Amino acid sequence: MKFIFKIIFFLIVVGVLPMLLSYLFSLSLAKGMLEDLTFLNLERMDNLVAMEIENLMAQALDNISVLSRNPILTSEQTSIEEKSEELEKIYKYYSLFRDISILNEKGKVIISTTYRFYGRWEENYWFQKAREEKQLVASDAYAALDPTNPILAFFSPILDKNNKIIYFIVAQIDTDFLWKITDIKIGERGYVILINSRGDIIAHPQKKLLFDKISPSYNLQQNTSLKKGRTKFRFEQENLMAYFNVIEKYREYPGHNWHLILVQPEEEVFTLIRTIETETLIFLIIFLFTILLISFILGKYITKPLIKLSLAAKEIANGNLEIKTEIKTGDEFEELSKTFNEMTKALKKSREASEIARTALEIKVKARTKELEELTLSLEEQVKARTKELEKGREELQKRVEELERFHRLTVGRELKMMELKREIERLKKEIEKEKSKLKNE
Amino acid sequence: MHKKNLIITITALIIILGVIAGTFYYLEKAKKAALEDELIIFNWENYLDPDIIKEFEEKFGVKVSLEYFDDSSYMFSAVQSQPDKYDLIVAADDGVKEMIDIKLLSLLDHGKIPNIKNLKEEAAENYYDFGNNYCLPYIAGYTGIVVNTKYIKDYDGSRKIFWDEKYKGKISMPNNSFEVLLNAFFQLGYDLENPTEEQLEAARKLALKQKDLVIGYDDPFDQRDLMVSEKAWVTYVYTTEIPAMISKNSNLKFFAPKEGVVLWTDNWCIPKDAPHKNAAHAFLNYLLEPEVSAKNSEYIGSPMLNGAMEKFLDPEFFSKTKGLDFPLDKEVFLRSSYCPSFIAEKVQIVSNQLWSDLGIEE
């Protein structure tokens, strides 16, 4: 790696990295703190709103309870006209109700103030519940005629002395009164969502979302069992931080497990962090460039004399001892340059001396060589004479050998003839024997 | 060389991981698409062949439970207060529109109902759910008049018979306040496209005059029994009830009221929080098999809106059901209309009041 890169690397490690690390650390610390603060704020508000909803629902139930003790409405002695008149009075007095109806024990409408929400109560789950349990039941929020306007129905059975149901009073109210409490802003963009136990939205600032499902990223089942807590989920293309509260009861009355969810978009919570993040990032980039520039200049300053020295050293390596370095930095590099020049000078001197010594040596070598050549010549002649003598001796020896060979051949010939004669004698002896025996026989 | 090996290893690893992830994804998807073992249907009585249910149960291993309603407003009230109770419901056109408006219905997954292609073209081009996003049109019809020709001779097909003193105690009206009010409305010759409050009030008053003339406001099965046993001589009844009625008493004859009729189409829908949606889709797809539709139509006596089932139908079927299906007599048809829900709300308030005034005990 080049020296200049080493310097850059060193400055980045020493200068930028610690800054980056401390920036990341403090950022996550600030983020955590902000998150915590937001959740705490949501929790505090959620608990307050949940309490208010509980109270309002309990109040509404109390009102129906009072209504169901109204002697004109509940007496079997009063006529339908009287009941109708009383109902109208109550309807006008309590602006809360959208409709009040009196049903017979089977659920058939006897009188209604508006006839708008007639319905067939016999098949209505909440009516059936009130009939079975013989007590006041509030329905879950449901859409009747207009999906942007959820309705709540309260069923109150009227019992006679024998505990037999004679009438039902059914009062229906808009959920507007709930919405008034839930229509609060949290920060700039935070808001309140109310969902029922099936995940249908029953209160939301955007009315068109009513009765749509809450997003599946809100864990309905788990949150129902947790009852309350912090959560994060994505809804309407936004990441939301939320606190939820499951409303199990309206004071002494049973509730519907509505989830009151107070949400704050993450984007809003972290706006400050995002600004800091961007600003710090810009600062870091500028800092990085400055560091790069500084280290480049510094690198250049340091490496310039080094490059000069390096070039001079290369020249020397190529045999050029005339080279001289000119460095006027007034520091160790100038010292080094001077030393270098002295070294070159010394090197030059030593080379000249060695030149002279080499010439003398060459003359000596030449004389010695001549001597040696002469010596070689005389030795060669001696060798030649000796060789001649040896040649002569060799020829004589050759002759002797040939004579010996001749003699040997003669001897061998005689031997062979002797053997042949012996065999002839043997043969003749045998023939004589044969002849002798023949003669004997004759 | 080493670099090459590394790239191959990494690529292989990515592919293997991809395959594993893909397998898990499809398994999960398949698990989701798997049929639940139960299906709860909320329907009119005798409006689905029990054999078909049995066959479906055997073929798909799904236990089907049936619950019945005898008026659509009961169904509406039940689904409204418990959208997570039923898997399949049958609702008429205006009911479907209203349920879509108040977000009570679940979107149909056409991918799970390939047989939807068998539906008649006109079934998708309706005013209440164009393109069948929420419902599957089932059977279309209207409300007509059945008279006993033994007692009522030379009947001209008019609605005024329902106010004829001669037939006091022999008239059976349906247990639907809407139908009773609209019957009076048509009798007065008003246009259903744009009813005024005065017109509706006049119709309510006219309908109230029937109170002493009728035997009762009965559900379709009681209407059938009353007519077959000749306790009632004239009735105002849904076309789907007529085949069963006239096949049991040859004196009974069907008429489309000449003042025009209220047209309706019944549809299959899946409530928003239905617990067994896959099984519901599977059932709808099964029901649209041409052979199944033909069999079911023959059982009910009215043709399902399945364009592919005709070759499986008994050739006599159409002769039996003649006059009970579209098209109506051209002139009657021109006077007829659906009752879209944007006016239904107006009609509903008056009909609710009428029902209360009539003090009907069921």
Residue B362: per-residue pLDDT:
45
Alpha-carbon gap, residue A174 to A170, rounded angstroms: 13
**A126 vs B: CB within 8 A:** yes
Joined tokens for residue B351: 């009909």
Task: Name the pLDDT band for A201 (thresholds 50, 70, 90).
Answer: very high
Q: Are the C-beta atoms of A300 and A24 separated by less than 8 Å? A: no
Nearest neighbour of B102 by CB, restricted to A118, A120, A143:
A143
Q: Is the pLDDT of residue A273 over 90?
A: no
Residue A326: per-residue pLDDT:
81
Read off the pLDDT of residues A178-196 as tens digits, 9 standing for 90 and up: 778 778 888 889 999 999 9
Alpha-carbon gap, residue A101 to A127, rounded angstroms: 13
Q: Are the C-beta atoms of A131 and A165 separated by less than 8 Å? A: yes
Q: Are the C-beta atoms of A194 and A257 separated by less than 8 Å? A: no
Least confident of A89-103, A372-386, B234-248, B348-362: B348-362
Domain for residue A75, yes or no?
yes
Closest chain B residue to A123, measured at CA: B78
Q: One-letter amino acid identity for B319? A: S
Alpha-carbon gap, residue B321 to B247, rounded angstroms: 11
The residue ranking higher by pLDDT, B294 or A8, is: B294
DSSP, collapsed to helix, strand or coil, labels residue A114 as coil
- Overall domain count for chain A: 1
**A112 vs B: CB within 8 A:** yes
> How many residues does the structure list for chain B?
362
- Give the CATH number for residue A88: 3.30.450.20
Report mean pLDDT in 10-residue bins for chain B, 362 residues: 77 85 70 80 93 95 93 87 95 90 94 94 86 94 91 89 93 90 91 85 93 90 93 92 84 88 92 96 96 92 88 78 59 75 73 80 49
Domain for residue A232, yes or no?
yes
**A110 vs B: CB within 8 A:** yes
Residue B321: per-residue pLDDT:
62
Nearest neighbour of B77 by CB, restricted to A106, A115, A123:
A123
Distance from CA of B237 to the nearest CA of A (A): 20
Joined tokens for residue A337: 């340059």
Residue B326: per-residue pLDDT:
46
Residue B360: per-residue pLDDT:
63
* Fold equal for B33-140+267-318 and B141-263+328-358: yes
User: Chain A interface, mutation test: which of B69, B71, B82, most A Cβ atoms within 10 Å?
Assistant: B82
The string of DSSP letters for A141-179 reads PB-SS-TTS-EEEEEEEEE-TTS-EEEEEEEEEETHHHH
Alpha-carbon gap, residue B264 to B268, rounded angstroms: 13
User: Chain B interface, mutation test: which of A106, A108, A115, A154, most B Cβ atoms within 10 Å?
Assistant: A115
Domain for residue A58, yes or no?
yes
Domain for residue A433, yes or no?
no
Q: Domain B33-140+267-318 is of which CATH architecture?
A: 3-Layer(aba) Sandwich (3.40)
Task: Name the pLDDT band for A1 (thresholds 50, 70, 90).
Answer: low
User: Partners of A264 in the beta sheet?
Assistant: A241
Domain for residue A229, yes or no?
yes
Domain enclosing residue A55, as ranges? 3-271
Domain for residue A19, yes or no?
yes
Output the CA–CA distances (angstroms, integers) from residue B81 to A129, B177, B208, in the order listed: 11, 21, 31
Task: Name the pLDDT band for A131 (thresholds 50, 70, 90).
Answer: very high
Domain for residue A428, yes or no?
no
Domain for residue A227, yes or no?
yes
Query: Residue ranges of the domains in chain B?
Result: 1-30, 33-140+267-318, 141-263+328-358
Q: Cβ–Cβ contacts within 10 Å for residue B283, how many? A: 27
* Sheet with A151-159, side-by-side order of all strands: A109-112, A97-104, A165-174, A151-159, A137-138
Read off the pLDDT of residues A151-179 as tens digits, 9 standing for 90 and up: 899 999 988 888 899 889 999 888 887 77
Residues of A in contact with B44 (CB under 8 A): none
> Quick check: ipTM above 0.90?
no
**CATH code reported for the domain at B141-263+328-358:** 3.40.190.10
